[in-house]
Structure 1
Amino acid sequence: MDGTTYARIPKNGFSRPFLFLGSPQHVPGGRDTSWERDWKLLTGWKRWLVLSGAEHQSFTDGPLMAGALGIRPASGVLPAARAAELTRTYVAAFLDLHLKSKRQPLLDEPSSRYPEVRFCPAACGPR
């Protein structure tokens, strides 16, 4: 979730299921190019999801704790509770699909219930 991928994928690819879940800096042509580099080497099931309004810390308990301490997020940042809900929902769907073999339509296409989630690379702009 979010962050640069430092461990290099072998040139012959990686065939295990893989989920990228991140902030808007992780879009094709974005500031962090590691996901775009590695996407091409993922040969198995894969999804690249970007949460509009998310920041690097949105995928941790930090924003939830900050709210409890009275620290307000910057304007335009995805609310902490919503970021946690989205993270839990999509990670659970990924695990249910690949560990329990339960079909997960949520991972097939964008959902009107979760409009903050964009499927990349196609829905994230030009490559």
Structure 2
Amino acid sequence: MPACRMCKQNYPQSQFITGNGPRYQVCARCGIEHGLADPEETPQYFTDDVVNARLSLYTRRHLPWFAVFIGWMLYLSIGRGIELWSGLFFGVLALSTLVVPILHFLGTPRFLAQLSRITP
């Protein structure tokens, strides 16, 4: 993968603007920020709205996994010592550990549809 001359990041070839001279090996974002290309010339350019929408979509998809992981860490560190609540906490964690993977895989088509809708 080539690296951008300006930001030194590695991107696939489709993320680079075409041209020689100052436009050579410059990614779309750096090209637009430095005035080397127009946003109309770079259809692969992600605007800030698209980046925020994609980040929100990925966050909503992976947040249940993170919550289950944090829940197990809390249960193993401080949750076992509480009399009544440890049993309830364990039950909720066990149920969510079984349900989250199922919901994750059942939500894959919806996630891919939303991702294709917001991706330029």
Calculate the TM-score normalised by the size of structure 1. 0.26
- The structure with the larger Rg is 2
The structure where helix makes up a greater share of residues is 2
The structure where strand makes up a greater share of residues is 1
